[in-house]
Amino acid sequence: MADLIRLTAAELATAIADGTASSVEVTQAHLDRVDAVDEKVHAFLHVDREGAIAQAKAVDERRAAGERLGPLAGVPLALKDIFTTEGVPTTVGSKILEGWIPPYDATVTKRLKAAGVVILGKTNMDEFAMGSSTENSAYGPTGNPWDLTRIPGGSGGGSAASLASFQAPLAIGTDTGGSIRQPAAVTGTVGVKPTYGGVSRYGMVAFSSSLDQGGPCARTVLDAALLHQVIAGHDPLDSTSVDAPVPDVVEAARSGSVAGLRVGVVKEFRGEGYQAGVLQRFDESVELLRELGAEVVEVSCPSFDLALAAYYLIAPSECSSNLARFDAMRYGLRIGDDGTRSAEEVTALTREAGFGPEVKRRVMLGTYALSSGYYDAYYGSAQKVRTLVTRDFERAFADVHVLVSPTTPTTAFPIGERADDPMAMYRADLCTIPVNLAGNAAMSLPCGLAPEDGLPVGLQIIAPAMADDRLYRVGAAVEAGFQARWGHPILEEVPAL
């Protein structure tokens, strides 16, 4: 079978299960693609060639022994370098964890392995998942496979780029304010932020614990659903894990339909700062939803205008506490430990050398916002806004089944363009952040190319908490509708690079 890298994860799983291809062949084809293009794309921080082939062999042996394989068994995946992997480096895109080899697997890693999913390696990301472009990685940026001079989004740019460059059919990301959905939007791929608590955070390096959520990335809605099913579900090792059945996302993706659904268009997500071609493709998506039988209404969520400001107090506050554990004593880097310095001095030197500028900015901001005297004015006010955002969603979902918006205000911007302008960078997440504040579920999927630059545009679908299946039902219908119109998937060709 030639061209194994073109196939979807669902197709690969079928080929492996019925013996048309072995997992070793499929894995090798993807490793060959990594060898051919990743020097240019830089989606991976670490490629685990031997480990991947060993996992693939194990799946092939299980099949040969007559075992009935799971729905993604033998299919390769790119794992964001924020999940611990036993015996395989985990850096979170930071120098402070350079050389650290975790002694244990994250729950997500464990579940992938148990399902026979083959982990190819660890993907590049903004340091500690702070960023929207992957330029904050301490190991250099990732290129967008649509145009290597542009950003692939962030923080999960490596995972999204691995899909768009056909180095992997599946990837895992994390989404604190948009880091799964925004990279999906700007690379023409599918990304889902599950309901908060839907996927275990155990072994996922913490950035902002009340917002962080791991989730699936893929090139099709069905592939994302198959992966969602593998990683989701209650985990006693994560105290915020939801102890309830996982919505049947695979069945929803297989039976995509919007007939009889009420869809709300969020009024606040347009206007100044939104690229014309993004709005054009979004408006066409809304038209498509109508044609497919949805009833579309406009919905107002006035507090969403304050969400970005609230997020940039809450996320830095939580990160200033979470990152305190990187003290040069417990993990990774240690600078200046020559017997002449105090522990405090070693900690300070290590953090100075090990953390990049964005991480330092956020730790300082968060420490300030939480300090006594300022707590009520900043952190307290931000938490009140968070409540207002949640209430806006509750009001909206009393009337509609899902909400839709563009995923991002613009298409992929050039590498370097916003690197020195944190505010411009932060605005990339205008439409995604409210979802994290409320803990809802959301998906980004491709809705065309912007006419002015030929780059992918993402459609965001938002569902109430624990109604993740609605994302897949609507997403699959939209995906099928667009493919019928275009005559092919958005990522039709394997880019030459």
Catalytic residues: 80, 155, 179
Contact region with ligand GLN (CB under 6 A), list: 172-180, 223-231, 338-346, 446-454: 172-180
The single residue among 17, 97, 115, 129 that binds ligand GLN, judged by CB under 6 A, is 129
Map the footprint of ligand GLN across residues 131-170, applying CB under 6 A: 131-132, 155
Residue pointed to by tokens 């075992």 = 67
Q: Is 178 in the site for ligand GLN (CB under 6 A)?
A: yes
Q: Which is nearer to ligand GLN, 8 or 142 (CB)?
A: 142
- What's the min distance (Å) between Cβ of 178 and ligand GLN? 5
Is there binding between residue 123 and ligand GLN (CB under 6 A)?
Answer: no
Residue with tokens 């090139």: 219
DSSP string, 82-149: TB-BTTB---TT-GGGTT---SS--HHHHHHHHTT-EEEEEE--SGGG--SSSTT-TT----BTTBTT
Closer residue to ligand GLN (CB): 10 or 315: 315
Neighbours of 450 (CB within 10 A): 19
Among positive and negative, which fits the CA dihedral 289, 294, 298, 301?
A: negative
Amino acid at 369: A
CA 426/CA 432 separation, integer angstroms: 11
Q: How many residues does the chain have?
A: 497
Site residue total, ligand GLN (CB under 6 A): 13
Is there a contact between 282 and 409 (Cβ–Cβ < 8 Å)? no
Candidates 130-138, 235-243, 276-284, 323-331; binding stretch for ligand GLN (CB under 6 A): 130-138
Supply the minimum distance, in Å, between the C-beta of residue 310 and ligand GLN. 12
Q: Which of residues 414-453 bind ligand GLN (CB under 6 A)?
A: 429
Which is nearer to ligand GLN, 222 or 445 (by Cβ)?
A: 445
Q: Is the peptide bond before 179 cis (omega within 30 degrees of 0)?
A: no
> Residue 59, Cα to own-chain centre: how many angstroms?
27
Supply the minimum distance, in Å, between the C-beta of residue 30 and ligand GLN: 26
Q: With CB under 6 A as the contact rule, which of the stretches 91-99, 126-134, 393-401, 416-424 interacts with ligand GLN?
A: 126-134
d(CA 178, CA 315): 12
176 binds ligand GLN (CB under 6 A): yes
Does 27 interact with ligand GLN (rule: CB under 6 A)? no
**Which amino acid is residue 337, in one-letter code?**
D
* Least distance in angstroms from the C-beta of 429 to ligand GLN: 5
Binding site for ligand GLN (CB under 6 A): 129-132, 155, 175-179, 207, 315, 429
